[in-house]
Structure 1
């Protein structure tokens, strides 16, 4: 039987193992989120960071064999290191991204993931040995510490998704979790103080780390904001982190720009070039377009262009992130651009996944406009597959038209033509268009229909700032370095089973 002191100490160990496990899993997914936001390709970054973190834990567990004495003070110092390194991880990542040469941020992220993983891997073996040292049998100490660890892992994942990321953001979350690690260390330091030599020295160092973390918690995000400002051309006037992405708005004189996860969505000075080509060729080629579907377009600009057509009775706009729609309806700069289109009585907004919406709805549409973000991760890739475009086709009326934004045929030639080939694979007739948008560069679109497409007879019946009837043929002309004849490249449809478009996209944009 354990005496009262041993029982109390064993409980402290189990609680400590659960709490540090919560912190460990939060740091693990935080590093994945950082990589996804700053480096792109979320699946790749989460895969690498989780793999490196687990590898680090394995290395740490192996190194823990050397820690056989003074276990409590070693545990305390490991927590000091996790608190300091993990707490400043996000803050330093933004600084490196802003000031250091390209590629340094990736090296830093993967290194810090491995280091924090290794420190986390040392924690549990030490706690198990300490529990065994105070009289708990090895089987019980191992089982109970591991239970605390696994249960803590679940709690940590849930807390990150539903609390830390949406309410604190990535910089404050790191400092806050670092403080939790530090608090565990200081509590253990106090409760085991009779076993620890130079208790005051360790306590002062711990308090010093706490002061740094608290300063980071209150001031780090503001400093990181100045770092991030260097990533954007113009001053930031709005920044928020929704449940799905980071939303940034910049403003310089007359130029308003919207960024999602660092990718430019539009510039107010030339967005009309993009949106008029997205909307009017499809709308003008349908007689009496009454029912229009917009997939994406949460900024409301495409809807504004569609509302110019008097025949339109209903616009259904499907955008996953309600925060983007809310911003479009409340930010005075965006309202000036979209003219309050999303609040029009004929516009119905659905905040849901576009793939899921098409699977659920029974509606047929005269025009479907696909204005979705580029396919730079797995979740977006499914919206550029044969399966997705088949769903789009199945909700298109027999004489209806589809227009898809399809990235740049200049910067990402293989990507553009793969998207076009994927749409064609659904037995739709296609027409390829591209336009120069100064803020983007040369940008491509794919128009599709069950019927043959004839742009020569197209007449735009509404006012425009850029597009004319006479220029349509010019939009369909591609130069030799941007056309479909791509040397040493196999053009094939992108599918859910073979999502090769992601790799093509990543390779195409790596130099831009």
Structure 2
């Protein structure tokens, strides 16, 4: 894809009677004009010009798919989509400038040079997703010895792909001028028009066609295949007379090798993905599904191993720590009126399980963005047994919706208790669900004496993020009671850095109980007794959280997120 600030073509049209040179050094054939001369096309110039612009269109679409593929994969594997998108795109744009400058030396060999660039770009761009995922799967994730290696690899791919995309600019400009002489401004306009339309098609094809129907690996490999075919067809079909016999055979052989490698990788993509999944999650992967929202993986629940639930590679429920987390999340908020309960997130049904232990609950609404997760929690034998068949209770109503949009249409004072069991605020996609505006909506839907509990991430690892959530709740007109629960085993840690490949994540959870008036942090005296939580331990948890307090932090808002 060509960027607006890419180097412009020469200020004057090429001289058709330029200096001569040997055919081999110029990449021409005997009898052709010297370097920079008009191309000897097998078709009329108008048809040739159309074919070059069509090639620009396809190459631009492929280039943008490579960029989006790197952004998506980096966001999935590393997290923090804003940072990853900024790194990938800024490095690529910078590299495109370098590639344009470097390609100036190839303008005398424009046809052969463009063919070689497209072959390399197809191989590097098409295989980038598979290589990055392999590094993630077989090197222990993004921690330990490889803490910076995969990030450097991401930058290296961005730099290489960007340079190759940038190298297309002067070469395509040279080719289009050899087809038919045109003023520089008109040639730039035509080239940019084809490029930007192609970028639009590639940008729309990635999220709506390639990603949902082919997945990240096969989508990237197919894009590389199309890139190689179009580049080779354009050069070998249209500009073959501008190249020596040796150059044509070298280019044909190179593209055949690239296509063979991409085709082989495409055939093996499913086997590779299964092997990589086992390398990440272990050998006892029982369920692995790609929903419209995320990848859901269930492991264990066989041969005595506890069930683990991973969402997009991040552990969300596992081991006996799962019960400790959900009891600490739910039961302090249930001390008081709790006939009407809203659970935000929690599609696994585990928070609903704890809510239903209170017999006087009349209705539980579970607002979950991913219907596939809720369906799995209802029907999978292991997960439904873990949540004690919560979705089979007639009081539980599963609602597929974005939490923010759902709250905007919820009547005032609808719920006695709201349980926010959402991903950590450190994940960019969750930032809006930890904003002052979001908590303002929650305050509105709470009954006057209602209570809200928020999972605010690991306090020991991210104290500033935790106390920013606290400051944001205060800015929304709520008073809080913070508490921190230590994880005493190897179970759940809902944390964006805790993945299947990085098990040594922080082992505590931070919670904030909020209400219009200062809430009392306690357990319901006549309610069910949690197995991992007592009034004494809850008081100790509150004191532990208070000792880590950070004051005077600004709240997070939609237009100024602070996590």
Q: TM-score, normalised by structure 2?
A: 0.82
CA distance in 2 between counterparts of 1:442 and 1:476 reads: 13
The range that moved more, 415-424 or 337-346, is: 337-346
CA distance in 1 between counterparts of 2:523 and 2:398 reads: 33
What is the CA-CA distance between 1:405 and the residue it aligns to?
0.7
Taking a change above 3 Å as real, the CA distance of residues 234 and 430 of structure 1, as seen in their structure-2 partners, is farther
Partner of 1:443: 509
CA distance in 1 between counterparts of 2:434 and 2:226 reads: 42
CA distance in 2 between counterparts of 1:46 and 1:457 reads: 44
- Output one character per residue of 1:450-502: Cα deviation in whole Å (capped at 9) or x when no partner: 244334573252364333455432332317xx72345xx753332334322x2
What is the CA-CA distance between 1:17 and the residue it aligns to?
0.5
In the alignment, structure 1 residue 376 sits paired with structure 2 residue 445: no
CA distance in 2 between counterparts of 1:323 and 1:73 reads: 50
For the residue of structure 1 that corresponds to 2:547, the secondary structure is coil
Partner of 1:211: 260
Kept after mapping to 2: 8 A contact 1:22/1:156: yes
Kept after mapping to 2: 8 A contact 1:280/1:460: no
What is the CA-CA distance between 1:224 and the residue it aligns to?
4.5
Taking a change above 3 Å as real, the CA distance of residues 372 and 458 of structure 1, as seen in their structure-2 partners, is same
Taking a change above 3 Å as real, the CA distance of residues 56 and 457 of structure 1, as seen in their structure-2 partners, is closer
What is the CA-CA distance between 1:425 and the residue it aligns to?
3.0
| Superposition pairs of residues 371-450 of structure 1, within 5 angstroms | 371-437=421-487, 438=489, 439=491, 440=493, 441-450=507-516
Partner of 1:322: 371
Taking a change above 3 Å as real, the CA distance of residues 267 and 457 of structure 1, as seen in their structure-2 partners, is closer
Taking a change above 3 Å as real, the CA distance of residues 130 and 176 of structure 1, as seen in their structure-2 partners, is same
CA distance in 2 between counterparts of 1:457 and 1:210 reads: 64
Partner of 2:305: 254
Partner of 1:108: 153
What is the CA-CA distance between 1:445 and the residue it aligns to?
0.9
The range that moved more, 140-149 or 389-398, is: 140-149
Partner of 1:278: 329
Partner of 2:385: 336
Kept after mapping to 2: 8 A contact 1:128/1:145: yes
Partner of 1:145: 191
Taking a change above 3 Å as real, the CA distance of residues 227 and 273 of structure 1, as seen in their structure-2 partners, is same
Kept after mapping to 1: 8 A contact 2:426/2:465: no
Partner of 1:508: none
What is the CA-CA distance between 1:102 and the residue it aligns to?
1.3
CA distance in 2 between counterparts of 1:460 and 1:18 reads: 69
What is the CA-CA distance between 1:230 and the residue it aligns to?
3.5
Partner of 1:38: 77
What is the CA-CA distance between 1:55 and the residue it aligns to?
1.4
CA distance in 1 between counterparts of 2:470 and 2:549 reads: 13
For the residue of structure 2 that corresponds to 1:295, the secondary structure is strand
Partner of 1:9: 48
Q: TM-score, normalised by structure 1?
A: 0.90
Taking a change above 3 Å as real, the CA distance of residues 457 and 31 of structure 1, as seen in their structure-2 partners, is closer
Partner of 1:159: 205
Paired residue for 1:84, among 114, 123, 148? 123
For the residue of structure 1 that corresponds to 2:146, the secondary structure is coil
Kept after mapping to 2: 8 A contact 1:398/1:450: yes
Kept after mapping to 2: 8 A contact 1:408/1:444: yes
CA distance in 1 between counterparts of 2:480 and 2:561 reads: 21
Q: What's the Cα RMSD here?
A: 2.4
- 4+ residue segments displaced more than 6 Å: none
Partner of 1:509: none
What is the CA-CA distance between 1:343 and the residue it aligns to?
4.8
Taking a change above 3 Å as real, the CA distance of residues 286 and 490 of structure 1, as seen in their structure-2 partners, is closer
What is the CA-CA distance between 1:23 and the residue it aligns to?
0.4
What is the CA-CA distance between 1:151 and the residue it aligns to?
0.6
Taking a change above 3 Å as real, the CA distance of residues 137 and 242 of structure 1, as seen in their structure-2 partners, is farther
CA distance in 1 between counterparts of 2:226 and 2:526 reads: 61
Unmatched 5+ stretches in structure 2: 1-40, 140-144, 494-506
Kept after mapping to 1: 8 A contact 2:513/2:521: no
CA distance in 2 between counterparts of 1:332 and 1:323 reads: 15
Taking a change above 3 Å as real, the CA distance of residues 140 and 306 of structure 1, as seen in their structure-2 partners, is same
- Output one character per residue of 1:4-52: Cα deviation in whole Å (capped at 9) or x when no partner: 5322222221111101111011111111112211221100111111111
- Output one character per residue of 1:264-297: Cα deviation in whole Å (capped at 9) or x when no partner: 21104321111111112212x223x222111111
CA distance in 2 between counterparts of 1:371 and 1:387 reads: 18
Taking a change above 3 Å as real, the CA distance of residues 4 and 222 of structure 1, as seen in their structure-2 partners, is closer
- Output one character per residue of 1:401-448: Cα deviation in whole Å (capped at 9) or x when no partner: 111111122222222222223223333232122222322312111111
Unmatched 5+ stretches in structure 1: 503-512
The range that moved more, 459-468 or 97-106, is: 459-468
The range that moved more, 162-171 or 319-328, is: 319-328
What is the CA-CA distance between 1:71 and the residue it aligns to?
1.7
For the residue of structure 1 that corresponds to 2:554, the secondary structure is coil
Paired residue for 1:181, among 206, 211, 227? 227
CA distance in 1 between counterparts of 2:229 and 2:526 reads: 66
Taking a change above 3 Å as real, the CA distance of residues 136 and 344 of structure 1, as seen in their structure-2 partners, is farther
In the alignment, structure 1 residue 60 sits paired with structure 2 residue 99: yes
What is the CA-CA distance between 1:189 and the residue it aligns to?
4.1
Kept after mapping to 2: 8 A contact 1:94/1:228: no
Kept after mapping to 2: 8 A contact 1:91/1:221: no
